Amino acid sequence: MSENRRNPDVRIGDPERNQAISLLGEHFSAGRLDVQEFDERCARATSARFRSELVTLFEDLPAPRFADPTPQRNPGRGAGGTALVLSVLFAVLALALLVKQPLLAVLALAGLVFWLLHRRG
């Protein structure tokens, strides 16, 4: 893990992308990102291949920031985590439909489907 901290261009996988999107959701919920910024950053996180691409999404934001290439916790495994994940995904979906942002709606639905499938496995 210390090797990953020294080299920001280590390839990442779905757990790291999901962690970044979850953290972006926290900033969106706190009002630090508007819908368009959140949508753009989530799209960039979804297509990221390297750790450095995720780190740059948080350069202008306070904590929580993407720092560790391996998630320390899985928000979908605890009872409180389940409620948080579902609340954020449904809030993003409702907001996307309200402001007519189809890409954001698709990302929220994809996140919900991925999270549900991931919980089963």
pLDDT along the chain (121 residues), means of 10: 60 91 89 90 92 94 76 48 70 78 78 71 55
What pLDDT score was predicted for residue 76?
44
Query: 65: closest CA among 13, 110, 8?
Result: 8
Q: What is the pLDDT of residue 109?
A: 76
- How big, in percent rounded to 5, are the helix, strand and coil portions of the chain? 65, 0, 30
The beta-strand segments (E) located in 1-121 are: none
Residue spans per domain, the chain? 2-68+79-120
pTM for this predicted structure: 0.54
Rounded distance between C-alpha atoms, residue 62 and residue 104, angstroms? 23
Contacting residues for 17 by C-beta, under 8 A, at least 6 apart:
45, 46, 48, 54
Residue 40: CB atoms within 10 A of its CB come to: 15
> Bridge partners of 50?
11
